[in-house]
Every structure is written in structure tokens, then in C-alpha cells.
Chains A and B, each alone.
Chain A
Amino acid sequence: MLTRRKWLGIWVAGAVFLTGIPSAPAQTQELIVYSGRKEPLVQPVLDLFQKQTGIRVVLKTGDGSALANQLSEEQNNPQADVFIATDAGVLGRLGNSGVLQPYTSSAVQKIPARYRGTGWVGVTGRARVIMYNKNLVKENELPTSLFDLTDPKWKGKIAAAGTANESMLGQVSEMRTALGDEKTRDFIKGLVANQTTFLKGHTDVRKAVGRGEFPLGLVNHYYYHLQLAENSPVGVIYPDQGAGGIGTMINVSGAGIVKGARHQAAAQQFIDFLTTAPAQQIFAKTNYEFPLLPGVAAQSDVRSLGEFKVTQVPLSVLAREVDASLKLANTAGMP
């Protein structure tokens, strides 16, 4: 009996002791970052920033949209200084509703205007591509356009992410803006009629294609490179490059300053830092993405932004169109 009580006493004392400790030691310079980008893909850049400026970066990673929802709830009680997300739609939505605060500087203006919006600036680009398994598809049979995927010969052979994925939803918005609702609906109905398997996310898609579960996968371009780095027999198609094609669709990852951020100066310094060459190079290196700062090259085996035809849609439409795109995709049968 005594030992039981003694044990419980120790644990309770420990609990009181632990909860009595302030969660973060007071620091003069600090920057609180919410990131929808995965931790391994953002940490190297944060480390460099911390090293260069001496500002302590405190990171919270999570699902981009969930964090965006949280930022909206926190609007009157802001906790974060900077938000990093992997979709122009998410960023634009927060910018338009005043959760993110407009900011511009000479550094930010070096990023081309079509990759910026109210309250946010694009940092890296990603292209919507088709990856394929070389053991399962012959070179001369490859699709060259996204619309080829609705051909019945690919029935049951395609993996993709559903509307829960921001990049997929962004693609629907871009397609609707470029070609109209009718053609977009036909495209999605075609995918559904072809028994396309909609997986949880692009990591699942790339692995499934890499292992040979599916011949084709609809992904962002760096998922192809990540799978290639695992020595899988995979290839990549940048679709719709031909004359009259709409070009390959692009989305961006980017960042913005939270309105009412407690560490304004540090936040501005950080946004400027993201648009400098060293930060852009790290992003290009860790995740094969396209640097948006002109003059910074992508990784050696990755195509640069100027080397292929890009769909001419300003990314600010993504935030505006997200609801309509979701409705259209859902009614056309995409989960």
C-alpha cells in the first residue's frame, strides 16, 4: 500500500513540476512559423535562416488546409508570424480574407508577378505531370495530353489523388479557367469512367506506380524525381506541350506574413530571405522544385521553368475558384 502511494506521489509531483515549467524559454528574437510543407523539406531553410540571423525559428508543421483553418480561427488572437503553404489557393484564400497581411519589398518583387498574390509570395513551383512505370508502358504508347487519360485503353490503369489534395483541386481550377467547365467536367467524368483509383495522397500514388501497381500516375513533378531516387523504373511526361495544347499546369508553394504577427520585423526578414538565391537553391535541392527567382537553376536533372510550355492562368484564380471546382469535381464523380 505504501509503495503504491509513494509511486503515485512521485508521479503527481512530477506532473506538477513539469507543467509548472514555462513551455518556451523567453528569447529576445523569435519567429513562429506554421508550415503546411513537410518538416524535412522546410527545416534546412529554417536552419540556414537561424544561422544567418540568430533569430530562433519555432516550427509547427501539419496539414496545410488544417493549419489555414486554424489561422482563420486565430485571426483575432494571432499566434503565428509566418505561414508556409504548398498551394496558391490556400494562400490566396487567407490573403483575400485578411488573415495574411500584404507585404512587399524589393526582394519580393523579384519574383514574377503571376506567382504572387494579396498577402503572399510564391517561393517554388511544381508542375502537374504524368509519371509512368517503364516496365508496364511502352514509349510509343505514352499519353501526351492529360485528356489522353480518358481513353478507354487506360481503364483501371491510372492512380491519382482526389479533391482532398490541394494540387489536384488547383489543377481542376486551372483547367476550368483555361478550357471552361464543360471540358473539365468531361475530363473528370472520363477519369472516373476509366476506373481511376483515387489514393490518399501523391506519396501513395508515386509508390504505387514505382512498385508496378499502376502503369500511370497523375502527380506533381517532384514525386517522379523522388520515386526515381528510390531506383524505381519510372518516367515522366510533361503533358499538353504540342501546338494548340494548353501547356503543363503549374502551382506554387509560398509564404505570407500573418496579420497582427508579434514578430513583424523578423517575419519580413524571413519572407525576404525565402526569395533569395541561397534559400531557393536549398528548396531546389531538397525537393526538386523549380526556383521562382529568375536566374536560379533547378536541380541538374530537373527541367527549368523556361524549358516547357506553361498553362497561362494567373494563380490568383485558384483561391477564387476553389469552391466551384470542388463542386464540379464532386458532381462529376471525383471523391
Chain B
Amino acid sequence: MRNIVEARPIPRTAPLPLRLAAGGVAALLGLPLVYLLVRSLEADQATWSSLFATQLAPLLITTFSLAVTVTTLAVALGVGLAFLVERTDLPGRGLWRVLCAMPLVIPPYVGAFCYLTLLGPQGLLEQWLATQLGVAAIPQVRLIGFPAAVLVLVLFTYPFVYLLVGAQLRGTDRSLIEAARACGQGAWQTFWRVTLPLMRPAIGAGGLLVGLYALADFGVVSLLRVETFTAAIYTQLTTRYDRSGAAVLSAVLILIAFMVLWAEQRLQGRRVAQLRSAWRPSLPVPLGVWRLPALGAVVGVLGLSLFLPMGLLIAWTIESLTDESAMAAVWTASYNNIWSGLFNSLGVAMAAATIAAIAALPVALWSVRYPGVGANFAYRISQLGYALPGLVVALSLVFLGNRYLGWLYGTVAMVVIACIVRFLPEALQGLRSALAQISPSLEEASRSLGHRPFSTWCRVVFPLLWPSLLAAWSLVFLSSLRELPATLLLRPAGFDTLSVRIWIPASESIYSHAAPAALLLVLTSLVPLSFLFVRARAGEGR
């Protein structure tokens, strides 16, 4: 019985409409990049040489170490949790499976301010300890700078890896494991030689999301005082009137993003597709004496990434309900209150998610089914938005909007476009690995029965792709809901989203005013997250 087939692409050139659609999407997403390159080339020699002489080396070192450390730890955590929940007899795995994905709904900048209040300089922990010991300050217990940023970014981005790897583990046929065991391989050898290689595309895709997030993150590094590229670009943008400096730094960041994308491509290696006809779920691995320690580890991670920040948000929200000035400013204000913020956030996120999920389809289809120079180029260009800091995307849109799209500029559409440019890569990643999992032989069968490509696509590919499309939609929705820097800059006057209502009081350290909006944002994010689990259940029932 051959259960694995090589997912070799159909040797045909892509239909013209597909190429046009995908090329159009890539061109639109590539515009900010072009703007940045033009701007960086406009910079005079002095700007380049002074930036390169003084800032570049330390920024490169900090940014690279942060991205690599965060990605490594997040992959380890995500794979570990996914394996424990999907493949072992961990007590209460049904509950943990859901909870382990939950930190995704907490924006990392919200997590960062929770940790800063707790463990930062003169945070709650230090104050408590200092009172106990009768001293003024205990700098040794402070968590700030690089280690703090690593902790926060790992805790709130590992679900990207966890979700993708979990889905992969659930979808793997038991017979592969049985075959390995029947050939005399032990449990560990089976893991290294069968399970891990099967997880590779999911690890690659998840790790890429985490790595790119760490490269582009602005909120966490600036709150926790880590000088990375994005923080330096922000300084250039907000305090200098010559934006070519920011453009030069951004151009370097784009090159780094290209390198990450290239590395991911190397990592993915050969694609493997499975026929689902005789599919059976895998049997759990007995943990034996490790059951309780494993349970403790899962609960410990969730305590740090979910229970603790949620507890703080709930406590601060209750505080805001009992405090009169917070009540007036947050809940009952006639203008820019929390409800108009919710309404605006939902509108932007839904529009962005819907357009992004649809627009990602042609690019994914072209690059998976008809790989070649053009397809690969379109795919790489479409990926770049995620590595660009939101502020840079926003500024390029300000520039393009004012020059060429005056009628569109100053409307909500600009915020939606920024979200699409930034987050379409998330949809693209998921759709692409899902398409790679659908065996081309199904399409070949359809074609051999006389269906044209479009008809094949509607009748065969789309129904199989539907759960992934929903997942892609949910991911973009989640990210757009929490998008901050681009929204801050591009929103029309009077149009505040929840993230803006979090940022304004939080930047003034008024946490009781920021917490209600943060909590509402988290609760709203649960809706799209539930779609991701619908998808997971559908995968099991197959």
C-alpha cells in the first residue's frame, strides 16, 4: 500500500487570468517596497555613511539575536505543547488543546505592559519584595531589556507554531508511525525520522511567522527598551524631518526579511502529500511517570502566557468600573468611547480579512501548482509586507495616497489597505501549505475527466481548501484587530479603533483606562479563534 505520493507539480504553465490576478496582487503589495527603495536612494551619501558607521552593527546584532532567540524558543515551545496535546495521554488534553492557542488573542504589546507593571523596574514584584526586606529598590529582580522582550515575544507568538504543528500532527496517518515501528524503530527514532520530517512544513511556516513578527515588532521592544531596527526607524521617523534615514534603515530590514524568507524555503525541502482514503488517527504515546511533570509544564506556560495577563486585565477593568474618572473616560464618553472603538475595529478587521483571504488565493495557487521564476517572485514579494514595520507601511501609504490616490486618502479604506499589505502573508502561508497538502493527482483526475482548470478548481480544490481559507481569514482578522502603528497614522480624524483606545491611555501609563479596551479586544478575538478550532475538528472527523 502506497500512502505517500510525491507532490510533483503539474508541468503546465498557469492560465493567464491566474497569472494576471496573482501578479496584480503582488504588484499592489510591492508598492510600499518600491517607495522605500526610492526614498532610500534619495538619501545622500552622508546619511548612508553616518548610519552605517554609527548604528548599523549594533542594530544588526540586537535585531538578529532577538529574532533568532525568539524563533528558536517559540518553535521549541510550540512543537512541545502540540506534541503533548495531540500525541500523548496528557490528562485533560481536550481542554489544554484549546487553551494553548489562546495566548494568540493577547496582543504582545498588551502582554508587554502587563509584564512591565509586574516585573519591570519598581514593578509590583520589586515593590513587594522591597517592602518585605525593608529596602528602597532591588534592581536584581527587574526584568527589562533583551531577556524581557524574548520572554514576552515567545509567550505571545508561540501559538503560531503550535496551531500549525498541531493541525499537522492531527492530520498524520497512524499507518506511517506503525510502519516505522514495524521496521524496528524505537519511539524516539520514529519521532526523529517520521514525525519531525512530517512536521517540517508546519514548523517552517510557523517559525517564519514568529521570526518575521520579531523582526517587525515595535510595541514590545519599545516598551521594554530594546534598540532594534524598528525602534531605530521609529526614532528616525518621529524625531527627524529627513525621512531618508528611516528609509535607509527600512531598506536594510527588507534585505533581512528576504534572507529569512530564503532560509525558510531551504528549510521546507520536499513537500509530501497524503491520500486520505484509509486515514486513521494516531495513537497517543503513553507518558508514564512523566504525566504529572508534563501537565505541570503545560499549566506553567499557560499561567505565564494566559492566566496572569488575563487576570491583570480583568482586575484593572474592575478597577475602571469602580473609578469615576475612568468610568467617564472609557465607558460613557459621548465621543470616542469604547463601543465606537469596538465597532470600528470589527469593520476594519472584517474587511481586511475578507479581501486578504480572497486576494491570497491566486498567489498561493500560482506558486504551488505552477512554480517558476514568475510565481516565485510574486510569492516572495507578497510575503514582504509582514516583515515591514506597520509604521513604514503606513508612511508609504501616506506618501502614495497623497500623490496618487487623493480621493481615497483620509478614509477608512487606507487603514484596511495597510492591514491587507501587512497581514496578507499570514493568509498566504496557510493557504500555500494547505494547497501543497492537496494531492495534484486529484486535480489531474478531474482534468482527465474533461473539466477545465476553473471548473476543477471550483469542484475539487476549493471544497478541500475551504477550512484553510476560513483559518486564513481568522488569522488576518486577529492581526488586523490588534494592528496599532499603521492605524494610528492612517485613521481618519475621529476614527479610533480598540487598539488606539488601548494605546492612548497605556502610553500615559493609565492602565485602568487601557485595560477595558484590551479586555474587549481579547474577547472579540475569541470569535475568529473559534473558527480555527472548527477547522481542527473538521480535520479529525475526516
Contacts and interface: CB of A to CB of B under 8 A. Distances in A.
Nearest to B406: A77
A296 to B, nearest CB: 26
Interface of B: 121-122, 136-137, 222, 225, 235, 237-243, 329, 336, 343, 346-347, 350-351, 353-354, 395, 398-399, 401-403, 406, 409-412, 416, 467, 470, 473, 488-489, 491-495, 504, 508-509, 531, 534, 538
A5 B493 CA distance: 36
Contacts of B238: 63, 65-66, 69, 164
19 contacts: A4-B531, A4-B538, A19-B416, A21-B347, A39-B504, A40-B508, A61-B504, A69-B241, A70-B398, A76-B402, A76-B406, A77-B410, A93-B241, A164-B238, A164-B239, A200-B222, A200-B225, A323-B241, A323-B242
Contacts of B494: 24, 32, 58-60
B470 A24 contact: no
B412 A23 contact: yes
B492 A24 contact: yes
B356 to A, nearest CB: 12
Given A18-B343, A19-B351, A212-B136, A163 B492 contact: no
A69 B243 contact: yes
Nearest to B223: A200
Contacts of B531: 4, 7-8
Contacts of A276: none
B235 A164 contact: yes
B412 to A, nearest CB: 5
A141 B334 CA distance: 51
Nearest to B240: A326
Nearest 6 interchain pairs by C-beta = A15-B350, A18-B347, A58-B494, A60-B493, A79-B410, A58-B493
Contacts of B329: 40
A323 B494 CA distance: 33
Contacts of B416: 19
Task: Choose among B225, B242, B493 the residue with the greatest number of A CB atoms under 10 Å from its CB.
Answer: B493
B402 A33 contact: no
B334 to A, nearest CB: 9
Contacts of A169: 239
A308 interface: no
A80 interface: yes
Contact of B508 (A60, A62, A200, A203): A203
A163 B239 contact: yes
A19 B531 CA distance: 22
Given A33-B493, A58-B494, A69-B241, A74 B398 contact: yes
Nearest to A66: B238
B347 A8 contact: no
Given A8-B470, A66-B237, A77-B409, A14 B350 contact: yes
Given A4-B534, A60-B492, A164-B238, 9 more contacts: A8-B531, A11-B350, A18-B343, A58-B494, A59-B493, A74-B409, A77-B406, A164-B235, A207-B122
Contacts of B241: 65, 68-69, 72, 93, 322-323
Contacts of B239: 65, 163-166, 169, 326
Nearest to B407: A77
Contacts of A186: none
Contacts of B353: 15
Contacts of B336: 59
Interface in A68-97: 68-70, 72-77, 79-80, 93
B473 to A, nearest CB: 7
A14 B346 contact: yes
A146 interface: no
B137 A212 contact: yes
A21 B495 CA distance: 13
A40 B238 CA distance: 21
Nearest to A12: B354
A58 B491 CA distance: 12
Interface in A1-32: 1, 4, 7-8, 11-12, 14-15, 18-19, 21, 23-24, 32
B354 A15 contact: yes
Given A24-B494, A65-B238, A66-B238, A18 B398 contact: no
A62 B406 contact: no
A208 B136 CA distance: 12
Nearest to B122: A211
A44 to B, nearest CB: 12
B350 A38 contact: no
A170 to B, nearest CB: 12
Given A4-B470, A326-B240, A77 B350 contact: no
Interface in A286-326: 322-323, 326
